[in-house]
Structure 1
Amino acid sequence: MAHGNDSAAYDDADIVREILRQVAEVAPQCSPDVMRRIELDVRQRFGGRRWFVAKGKQTRLTPEQRRQAFVDGLGGASTEDIARKHGIDRSTLYRLMKRGGK
């Protein structure tokens, strides 16, 4: 299975087929007929729409986690260190700082 930053290989990929290919790898007992019915159903229901696929697990920070990241941001540590410590993106930390930790 391909993972990570190899997005160039997927620029023109058909996301439905790629997902079904990976499902077939891990669940070979799923018949081709079932896979085809799933593909047709998904294409009928969602075809023609643009979709956003989030990168990995997206979790919301609790108010306490936001406050702690904000407090850490007031100290002298680098943005990268603080973001890494709290498992957030630098842009999230900047937004927290701008909003006073809210």
Structure 2
Amino acid sequence: MRVNQLDREIGLNGDTVRFYTRIGFLNPVKDPVNGYKEYSPKDRRFLRFILSARQLGFSVNNIGQPYRPIPTIMVRRLHYVQHWRGPIWKLSCLRQSVIILTAV
């Protein structure tokens, strides 16, 4: 899969894909025939992971390299998200109850 195919599929621009390639997060293989960089399904999965982590507020430095241990700050943030998942769900249910009660 080439840069333009990857960015179209995921909804990015080529510069973003090239940036993550340049800093070593993605590891495309250069096609010996035409010289294009080919990204693997593993690169695609890791790019989706990077984007999800960025949406959760992780910096590029916090995300780390693939195949390295997950940085401590990332583990802490994941625990934080899991810790608040229950209370957020309860608040959502409470909100729904208020909407139902006020609709009557």
TM-score (norm 1): 0.26
Which of the pair is proportionally richer in helix? 2
TM-score (norm 2): 0.26
